[in-house]
Amino acid sequence: MTFGETKLGRKKRRNEAIAKVVFLGMALSMILPLVLIVGYLFHQAWPILSLDFLTAMPRRGMRDGGIWPALLGTFYLVTISLVIATPIGVAAAIYLNEYSRDNWFTRLIHLAVVNLAGVPSIVHALFGLGAFVMFAHLGRSILAASLTLAIMTLPVIIASTKEALASVPMAFREACWSVGATRWQTIRGIVLPNSISGILTGIILQVSRAAGETAPIMFTGAVFYKAIPEGRLFAYGLFDQCMALSMHLFTISTQVPEVPPALPFGTAVVLVMTVLLVNAASIALRAWLRSRKKW
């Protein structure tokens, strides 16, 4: 005896096919513009892209040469800001998720974290100018700009880390406590290793934001032009001002006349590819860590 497909089964199969097409269209509507934009940037920047463009100094009033000072300055700002923000953000998330009780004080902290995540970057810039440049007497420097970027990136790192910690099953903690492990031993040996991929997600998100921000560094440490030795990795000090790719792109696009058309596009491509390479490395590390999970 054979069973034929019922009317209800055909309807469900048809609805599933329609849903697949709709979701595929939604995915393509997000991916296709990105591919077109990146392709257009590469097409416009191709005449200027070279190793010399990455390692040379700007010349002729930013109309020629390379972007080495801006590329190195961006690396300094992003690296230092993440070195500052990551341990503080992870420690704050560990306290909120593993140690704190649900009371008015912790609810106030949660509210502050959520609100800070939505504060415009120009407000962070003014805070950095007042707190680090003027009050702390750091002057306009890489350290002041990095601290400002760290304050700006903290909320997302805290929130993503807290969610990653909360995703670890409570049974893992209870198993450790039942054999005499302390709370910190449980966090260090079980909770953090099993949540590290989620923690990296928050850090990955902030690399893009820190590298692309202009207002916070413009007020606290970035300059129009700074001469440094070509190809030297340690050309900047913590209390020096620096160039940055985001501000350099803004400058040559709006403030410098008669710039070759390929120059701003080349700077934009380098900024995008720098962020993509850092993100790709972090995603690869996250995937490797996830592959080691036992659950």
Q: Do residues 75 and 12 both lie within one domain?
A: no
Q: Do residues 123 and 13 both lie within one domain?
A: no
For 261, the domain range is 51-291
Q: Do residues 11 and 78 both lie within one domain?
A: no
Q: Report pLDDT for 231.
A: 75
Tens digit of pLDDT at every position of the chain (295 positions): 556 667 777 888 888 889 999 999 999 898 898 889 989 999 998 988 888 888 888 888 888 888 899 999 999 999 999 999 999 999 999 998 888 888 888 888 888 888 887 888 889 999 999 999 999 889 899 999 999 999 998 888 898 888 888 888 888 888 888 888 888 888 888 888 888 888 887 788 788 778 888 888 988 988 888 888 877 888 888 899 999 998 888 888 888 888 888 888 999 999 888 888 877 877 787 777 777 665 5
Strand partners, 222: 242
d(CA 246, CA 80): 17
CATH number of the domain bearing residue 255: 1.10.3720.10
Q: Containing H/E element for 42?
A: helix 7-45
Residues 6+ apart with CB under 8 A from 236: 72, 73, 76, 142, 228, 242
Q: Do residues 96 and 113 both lie within one domain?
A: yes
**Among 267, 259, 270, CA closest to 64:** 259
Max CA separation in the chain (angstroms):
87
Q: Do residues 107 and 188 both lie within one domain?
A: yes
Q: Do residues 81 and 168 both lie within one domain?
A: yes
Number of folded domains that form the chain: 2
Look at the block and give the residue holding tokens 């260090």: 188
Distances (CA, A) of 238 to 60, 156, 256: 28, 25, 28
Q: Report pLDDT for 294.
A: 58
Q: Do residues 12 and 75 both lie within one domain?
A: no
Q: Do residues 275 and 259 both lie within one domain?
A: yes
Alpha helices in 46-141 (DSSP H): 51-55, 68-94, 104-117, 121-128
Q: Do residues 15 and 125 both lie within one domain?
A: no
Q: Do residues 261 and 130 both lie within one domain?
A: yes
d(CA 52, CA 144): 30
Q: Do residues 151 and 197 both lie within one domain?
A: yes
Q: Do residues 94 and 149 both lie within one domain?
A: yes
